[in-house]
Structure 1
């Protein structure tokens, strides 16, 4: 057997595997944002103080301040499974009712404000489960799914009519 041919074949195989591996990883990194809600971006991003770091379906805050009611999916594709809120971050106006609706994927989930403002209760897994909260006070509200917080299942809601301010931003 010719060692030059064997080496060449080996290097071709390694190169092919590298290209295939890179392509599949590229698909993984974009997959979390596929199927995510769309809409206008909030012009100035709120300062979440690193809270959404490690939440792979967060890239910006959607500006849904013109809506009276919105729905956030619980158990959406993110964080290497059905461990996301969709959208991960949204801006709304005071008085907006937010409904979190379970997809039935990713096991048991709940919705718990990090500041104690709201809590959906014990984690549940049934599709169609929902929890509602009306945000009357301006501020920045952050929340988690307790069983999957370490995996990056986090969300944020900016409540306000104007743009967020860097310093002195209200947080609740």
Structure 2
């Protein structure tokens, strides 16, 4: 059986359409991540911090909790190069624990202003690092080996507590 150039181009075009439809399905699933907390009503101004970070969706309002966990090596930035969630709001005196998933290779957690540092990058599943936030403000941080890929996060320490039905959470 001989194949003409026209038949070959038709087949190649059909494969390209099918391939892009498959990729669109993958992209759609990634965009439909389940939120881990309600959205903070007034988003902080991160001043471009999350530019180039594809897994930042919004600041997850976790105020009123004494402890919060952020996954290290969660899906994002074309692999397992994200913090999950990328941005959280917490109350003063909240302990944030970063927990390694084991995905994406070696990671660490280093504050942009030097406030905290988990140490050298590690890849072991279950590794944890914790820091208690006492003062209000925005604390930006990165994974040093994957910062250029967009592996960035932020903790917003806010004074006001969320309310539901007029009571503090």
TM-score tier (shorter): 0.7 to 0.9
Which residue of the partner structure matches residue 128 of structure 1? 126
Structure 1 residues 124 and 6: CA distance shift in structure 2, 3 A: closer
Q: Tell me what 1:156 maps to.
A: 154
Give the structure-2-normalised TM-score: 0.84
> How do residues 1-172 of structure 1 correspond to structure 2 at under 5 angstroms?
7=6, 9=7, 12-33=10-31, 35=33, 37-162=35-160
- Unmatched segments (≥5 aa) in structure 2: 162-169
Between the aligned partners of 1:86 and 1:37, the Cα distance in structure 2 is: 10
Mapped to 2, the partners of 1:33 and 1:144 lie a distance apart of: 22
Number of equivalences: 161
Root-mean-square deviation (CA), in Å? 2.4
- Could you tell me how far apart the structure 2 residues matched to 1:103 and 1:66 are? 25
Q: Is the 8 A contact 2:91 2:160 kept in 1?
A: no
Structure 1 segments (4+ residues) deviating >6 Å: none
Partner Cα separation in structure 2 for residue 36 and residue 155 of structure 1: 18
Q: How far is 1:17 from its partner?
A: 2.8
